[in-house]
A and B are shown apart, each in its own frame.
Chain A
């Protein structure tokens, strides 16, 4: 087999061998063209981002008169001035609030969604197909339909101006997307593993903790990353449920810097935008390996 196959592959190689220089040049040329095209595309995609980072060093007067890439009089004053925050609330408070909400969301989503997914995928109970359909059905409900009933509910529970309305849903597996993702993942795990564990005397909690959870790690990681980024960027829920500025997360604070009704502080807006981007960027850089891994594994299972 290998004996017949090898010459077939090697023979074109042999034909070109007389002029290795030309071939190398051509290969290098192709690579160079590719690299240039890629860099160009990346530059176009990244242009707004790079502009933002560079603009954050422009003094406030330069916005409007200098739309170019580079600040004429670079300064770090924008960063120094935003650290004081808004209306007596330091910037660090907004960061902490955002972080608290994001970490809370991740913990809540991972715990509750995985448990709900295990139940849907592995437990037999009456009405399971119906409940599953209903759960998927919530994906079709636009959020705007829910705003007012939800607001009335949380208001009557006295939870306005606390983080509870934003976090409580995450701990009750209300994000059908994550539940569905994990259900599909668990369904693809061989049932024999569960059965083996059961023969060894494990009940559902034990199977869930020792067998299922470790095996759906890629799904847990993708869910965590999405939950983190969604929560970090979420604007509407904090806007509706939080009143006190010292409970605001970053997206709300960002809008105050950019208030068009007063004299807008463009320098500060851009500087805060850069700062707000950093944690998500860090989070992504740290976890992107797992994200790609997670997607790849999901593909294989299907």
Chain B
């Protein structure tokens, strides 16, 4: 008696719940399908989801930018959210699979193929009424292009550079490296620093650990890391030759790897026991704060061919719009404001990379380290070539593998030959 009655109650409520689920499912689907159509009304109230990765400082700046955007477009409400970089991409992966990518989002060129090839990004070229593309140079536009579509736009750019800690060089009594010489001269200079300081300070870190330096060497010979269709553009011998290049330096000239492991996640340069390090030009601000050095000198990287256009404008940090946004025009207005407006230049300065758009650059006040980066970028103008082909899917993982193998060579845990084999095994697994 009792159990039966209860069972029917349970069955009843289960049915009710199922109906409720069905109904909500329907209505959600309905509203999703209904969006996107109709004429764009610039006055209509619209809410956009916007998300980025980054720290406290960046969050403050974006919040100020959203405020300033709302003075111009009070009808567009921006829901700004943020997380850290690794979580950011985990979350986007889930949203890409389950629907619900944000309308406008901070993007990285490393992921351009992955999200672009699956049609998740809107073509910004079709939103030209809202987005001004004329403020970007061809080379910078190319960093967000895939198969003729403009899928994202860079907020800023940087170029590869040699950083030197002047305080350490003064202590050692060595003149700064002049930059742009051949690699042998750079190695000799590093050796002179290590020697002059009696081993307290090393001349540099093993540059063959970074794939960016390999890329430069390839570009100096007219090549690239990847082909246009997303394959490796170098072979085992190229890589072996490059890693063997560092053999002499690893023998007591550059900072030993076991010493560097102790200070991870900081680098030897951050920790003030290497006098030079190569990285992207936008690292200057971070280096200045970690080393607290009175001055850091930036010079162009060494090269095998002084006339080669081996450097390029790296537009890593980009902005993109999801293909399934319900308000493409409003999203485009906001994206344009982030990448192009002088207000964005004023608020962000160079913290999203050195401003890529000329109109954004006009708004930026370049002082201190920013001015120094601007000066450096101007000085290497002649060496800046075309943007390299769009990175392959999984480039981030390959870059890390390259670095890890370089470190293992430094520790003596793996021979150059084995490292080359391992890298190509990994690459063939990643590239399929």
Q: Do A and B come from one complex?
A: yes
Q: Interface of A with B (CB < 8 Å)?
A: 61, 63-65, 67, 86-88, 125, 147-148, 151-152, 155-158, 160, 203, 235-236, 239-240, 243-245, 252, 255-265
B286 contacts partner chain A, Cβ-Cβ < 8 Å: yes
Q: Judging by beta carbons under 8 Å apart, are A264 and B98 in contact?
A: no
Excluding A157-B24, A243-B51, A257-B55, 14 further A-B contacts by CB distance (< 8 Å) are A64-B266, A64-B271, A86-B55, A87-B56, A87-B59, A151-B98, A156-B24, A157-B28, A160-B100, A203-B2, A261-B54, A262-B57, A263-B57, A263-B286
Tell which of A67, A148, A259 touches B85, judged by Cβ atoms closer than 8 Å.
A259
Q: Judging by beta carbons under 8 Å apart, are B83 and A252 in contact?
A: yes
Return A290 CB to nearest CB of chain B, in Å: 34
Return B367 CB to nearest CB of chain A, in Å: 17
Q: Supply 26 A–B pairs (Cβ within 8 Å), ascending by A.
A: A61-B290, A64-B266, A65-B271, A65-B272, A86-B55, A88-B60, A147-B94, A148-B98, A155-B98, A156-B28, A157-B24, A157-B28, A240-B90, A240-B94, A243-B79, A244-B79, A245-B82, A252-B83, A256-B56, A256-B82, A260-B85, A260-B265, A261-B55, A261-B84, A262-B55, A263-B290
From B53, B81, B97, B271, residue with most partner A Cβ within 10 Å? B81
From A61, A148, A160, residue with most partner B Cβ within 10 Å? A148
Q: Judging by beta carbons under 8 Å apart, are B85 and A88 in contact?
A: no
Across the interface, which residues of B come within 8 angstroms of A265, CB to CB?
55-56
Q: Judging by beta carbons under 8 Å apart, are A259 and B100 in contact?
A: no
Q: Top 9 A-B pairs ranked by shortest CB distance? A: A87-B59, A64-B266, A151-B98, A255-B84, A262-B55, A64-B271, A259-B55, A152-B98, A259-B84
Q: Judging by beta carbons under 8 Å apart, are A88 and B63 in contact?
A: yes
Across the interface, which residues of B come within 8 angstroms of A239, CB to CB?
83, 87, 90-91
CA distance A151 to B85 in the complex (A): 21
What does the 1/0 interface line of B269-286 toward A look like (CB < 8 Å)? Answer: 011100000000000011
Q: Judging by beta carbons under 8 Å apart, are B55 and A263 in contact?
A: yes
B8 contacts partner chain A, Cβ-Cβ < 8 Å: no
Q: Judging by beta carbons under 8 Å apart, are B263 and A155 in contact?
A: no
Across the interface, which residues of A come within 8 angstroms of B49, CB to CB?
243
Q: Judging by beta carbons under 8 Å apart, are A88 and B59 in contact?
A: yes
User: Closest residue of chain A to B58, judged by CB?
Assistant: A262
Return B36 CB to nearest CB of chain A, in Å: 18
CA distance A67 to B98 in the complex (A): 44
B99 contacts partner chain A, Cβ-Cβ < 8 Å: yes
Across the interface, which residues of A come within 8 angstroms of B351, CB to CB?
262
CA distance A252 to B25 in the complex (A): 29
Q: Judging by beta carbons under 8 Å apart, are A255 and B83 in contact?
A: yes
Interchain pairs with CB closer than 8 A, number: 113
CA distance A66 to B351 in the complex (A): 28
Tell me the dominant secondary structure on chain A's binding face.
loop
Q: Judging by beta carbons under 8 Å apart, are A245 and B98 in contact?
A: no
Q: Judging by beta carbons under 8 Å apart, are A245 and B60 in contact?
A: no
CA distance A266 to B263 in the complex (A): 12
Tell which of A147, A156, A257 touches B25, judged by Cβ atoms closer than 8 Å.
A156
Decide: A256 near B91, CB < 8 A? Known: A67-B263, A243-B81. Answer: no
CA distance A65 to B84 in the complex (A): 25
B1 contacts partner chain A, Cβ-Cβ < 8 Å: no
Q: How many residues of B contact A (CB 8 A)?
A: 47
What does the 1/0 interface line of B80-110 toward A look like (CB < 8 Å)? Answer: 0111111100110011011110000000000
Return B104 CB to nearest CB of chain A, in Å: 14
Return A91 CB to nearest CB of chain B, in Å: 11
Q: Judging by beta carbons under 8 Å apart, are B82 and A263 in contact?
A: no
CA distance A111 to B362 in the complex (A): 62
CA distance A262 to B21 in the complex (A): 43
B289 contacts partner chain A, Cβ-Cβ < 8 Å: yes
Return A206 CB to nearest CB of chain B, in Å: 13
Q: Judging by beta carbons under 8 Å apart, are A240 and B266 in contact?
A: no
Across the interface, which residues of A come within 8 angstroms of B60, CB to CB?
87-88
CA distance A155 to B29 in the complex (A): 11
CA distance A155 to B101 in the complex (A): 11
Across the interface, which residues of A come within 8 angstroms of B290, CB to CB?
61, 64, 263
B292 contacts partner chain A, Cβ-Cβ < 8 Å: yes
Residues in B201-218 with C-beta less than 8 Å from chain A: none
Q: Judging by beta carbons under 8 Å apart, are B59 and A86 in contact?
A: yes
CA distance A65 to B201 in the complex (A): 13
CA distance A252 to B91 in the complex (A): 12
Return A60 CB to nearest CB of chain B, in Å: 8
CA distance A86 to B265 in the complex (A): 22
User: Closest residue of chain A to B287, judged by CB?
Assistant: A263
Return A175 CB to nearest CB of chain B, in Å: 20
Across the interface, which residues of B come within 8 angstroms of A160, CB to CB?
100
Across the interface, which residues of A come within 8 angstroms of B292, CB to CB?
61
From A64, A148, A263, residue with most partner B Cβ within 10 Å? A64
Q: Judging by beta carbons under 8 Å apart, are A158 and B83 in contact?
A: no
B237 contacts partner chain A, Cβ-Cβ < 8 Å: no
CA distance A176 to B28 in the complex (A): 31
B262 contacts partner chain A, Cβ-Cβ < 8 Å: yes
Return B97 CB to nearest CB of chain A, in Å: 5
Q: Judging by beta carbons under 8 Å apart, are B94 and A245 in contact?
A: no
Q: Judging by beta carbons under 8 Å apart, are A259 and B54 in contact?
A: yes
Return A300 CB to nearest CB of chain B, in Å: 34
CA distance A163 to B24 in the complex (A): 18
CA distance A223 to B49 in the complex (A): 38
From B60, B79, B265, residue with most partner A Cβ within 10 Å? B265
Decide: A148 near B97, CB < 8 A? Known: A239-B83, A256-B83. Answer: yes
Tell which of A63, A155, A252 touches B100, judged by Cβ atoms closer than 8 Å.
A155
Q: Judging by beta carbons under 8 Å apart, are B53 and A261 in contact?
A: yes
Tell which of A67, A256, A259 touches B262, judged by Cβ atoms closer than 8 Å.
A67
Q: Judging by beta carbons under 8 Å apart, are A262 and B94 in contact?
A: no
User: Closest residue of chain B to A242, judged by CB?
Assistant: B81
CA distance A125 to B10 in the complex (A): 13
Q: Judging by beta carbons under 8 Å apart, are B53 and A259 in contact?
A: yes
Across the interface, which residues of B come within 8 angstroms of A64, CB to CB?
263, 266, 270-271, 290
Across the interface, which residues of A come within 8 angstroms of B84, CB to CB?
255-256, 258-261
Return A203 CB to nearest CB of chain B, in Å: 8
From B3, B87, B262, residue with most partner A Cβ within 10 Å? B87
Return A244 CB to nearest CB of chain B, in Å: 6
CA distance A65 to B290 in the complex (A): 10
Across the interface, which residues of A come within 8 angstroms of B51, CB to CB?
243
Across the interface, which residues of B come within 8 angstroms of A158, CB to CB?
24, 28
CA distance A262 to B289 in the complex (A): 11
Across the interface, which residues of B come within 8 angstroms of A257, CB to CB?
55-56
CA distance A210 to B79 in the complex (A): 50
Across the interface, which residues of A come within 8 angstroms of B59, CB to CB?
86-88, 245, 256
